[in-house]
Chains A and B, each alone.
Chain A
Amino acid sequence: MSEHVNAWLGAYYDGELEGRRLSAVEKHLAQCSSCQQALKELKEISLLLRSSPDPEVTLSADQFVAQVGLRMSRMPDQPLWQRAISVGWQWTPVGILGLWSFLQAVFIVAGILFLAVNLGFGGETLASLVSSSQTGSSVGDLFLLQGESVNEILRTGLDLLRTGGPFGWGLFVNLGISVALGLLYCSWLVSWWIRTRSPNHSEMPLEMNLNGN
C-alpha cells in the first residue's frame, strides 16, 4: 500500500486537487480504511462548522449603508498620476494667463529696448548688443560664451525681440499669440462646463441610495 495521504485529504475534500495528485489520492483512498476514516471525519467537521448560524446583526442594511455613507469622503482617493492631471487641469487657466502676461511683458520690454536704441539712449553696450544681433557677430562674447551655436541662438532670440515689438510686424505676432491663447482658454472653459454637467461630478448626491431603487 502507498503512503497515507492525510496531508492531501483536505485539498481533496475541497476539490482542489487535479491531475496525477488527484489520481494518486483516489487510488490510495480506495484501499486505505484509515484515510477513508480521516476523510469522513473531515466531512463531519466541515458540516459541523457550517451548522453554526450566521450572527444576528444589530444594524439593518439601510442603517449600515447610511452609516458608511456618513463617514465616506466626497470622492475616492485618486492615484498620484490622476491627482497630478487633476491639479494641472485646475491650474490650466492660471498657466494660460501667466504665459500671456509673460509674452506681453517680453514684447513691451523689447519694444522699449529697441525704441531706446533708435532714439540713441542706452549707451554703447545696448547698441552693440542690438547691432551684433543684427549683424550676426559674436554676441556670445558679451556673455563670455563661445561657439557658433551659442551666437546663433542669442542672435535669433534678439531678432525675435526686435521684430516682436509693438512698432513692427511683431504686433501681428503678438495678436496671433493672444488669439491662440484666448482660444485655448475658451476651450478649457467649454471642457469645464461639460465636466460640471456630468452626473458624476459635483452634482452627485451626497447621501447614499438607501432604498436601493
Chain B
Amino acid sequence: MTHRANSPEAREPELITKAQRGDRSAFGELVRRHRRGVINVVYRMCGDIHFAEDMAQEAFLRAWQKLASYQPHAPFRNWVYRIATNAALDVLRKEKDFINIDDVQLAGPGAGPEAKLARDELGDRIKLAILSLPPASRAVLILREYEALSYREIAETLDIPMGTVMSRLNFARNKLRQLLAPDLEER
C-alpha cells in the first residue's frame, strides 16, 4: 500500500508530507523525480559528471536532514537546487583549482562516460565557455537557461536580490557572446 501511495503518479505535496514524517520510500520517489535536474545543474557548474552525481547525492542527503524545515511556499525542486548550488559553490570557492580548463579540453574520445559529449565540439566549447564564467554568474545563468527558473525563483534559490540576478545574467550573457562569437556567426 505504501508503495502504491508513493507511485510516480503520487502528488508531490503528499510525498513531501510523508517524507517529512520519516517515510523513506516517499523521499526516494522525490529523489527519483528531481535527480536529473540536480545532476544537470551541478554538472553545468563544475563540468565533471562524477562530481555532479556525488554532489547531487550529497544535496539530497542534506535535503533529507533538513526536510522538517522545508516550507512548501517554494517548489521542492527549487529548494533542492538551492542546496545543491550552494554546496557546489562552496566547493568551487574552497578549491579554486577544481576546474582545470585544460583537462576539460583534453577529454577526448574513449575518455569514459563523457566520450560522446567530448566528441561534440560545439558542446565542448559551450561547456568551456560556461566554466570560464565566475561561479556566481554561472549559477544564475544555468538556473535561467537550463532550468528555466524565473528571476524571482533564482533570487530565492541563491538568496540574492532580483537586481543582482539581472546584472549577473547580463554579465554572463555578454561574456558568452564574446567567447562564442565564432559559433554565433556560423549559425
Contact = CB atoms under 8 A, between A and B. Distances in A.
A74 to B, nearest CB: 8
Interface residues of B, number: 64
A82 interface: yes
Interface stretch (A60-68, A133-141, A149-157): A60-68
A79 B20 CA distance: 11
A57 interface: yes
A55 B114 contact: yes
A209 B29 contact: yes
A69 B27 CA distance: 9
Interface string A1-28: 0000001001100101000000000000
A118 interface: no
Name B's interface SS: helix
Contacts of A82: 68
B150 interface: yes
Given A10-B173, A56-B49, A71 B57 contact: yes
B57 A68 contact: yes
Nearest to B142: A49
A33 interface: no
Given A41-B177, A53-B117, A76 B40 contact: no
A147 interface: no
B7 interface: yes
B173 to A, nearest CB: 6
B77 interface: no
B123 interface: yes
Interface in A33-68: 41-42, 44-59, 61, 64-65, 67-68
B24 A206 contact: yes
A46 B148 CA distance: 11
A55 B52 contact: yes
A125 interface: no
Contacts of A64: 31-32, 35, 53, 56-57
B3 A200 contact: no
A52 B123 contact: yes
B126 A59 contact: no
Contacts of B60: 68
A57 B36 contact: yes
Contacts of A16: 150-151, 166
Nearest to B120: A53
Interface string A180-213: 0000000000000000000111001111111111
B177 A56 contact: no
B61 interface: yes
A88 to B, nearest CB: 17
A57 B49 contact: yes
B146 A50 contact: yes
A207 B113 CA distance: 28
B134 interface: no
B145 A212 contact: no
Interface of B: 2-4, 6-8, 18-25, 27-29, 31-32, 35-36, 39-40, 43, 49-50, 52-53, 56-57, 60-61, 64-69, 113-114, 116-117, 120, 122-123, 126-127, 130, 141, 144-146, 150-151, 166, 169-170, 173, 176-177, 180, 183-184, 187
23 contacts: A10-B170, A41-B177, A42-B177, A45-B180, A48-B126, A48-B180, A49-B126, A52-B122, A56-B113, A56-B117, A58-B113, A64-B32, A68-B60, A71-B57, A72-B64, A76-B22, A79-B68, A199-B23, A200-B21, A204-B24, A207-B24, A208-B28, A209-B29
Given A52-B126, A205-B2, A209-B3, 11 more contacts: A7-B170, A41-B184, A49-B145, A51-B126, A53-B117, A54-B40, A55-B43, A65-B31, A201-B22, A209-B28, A213-B7
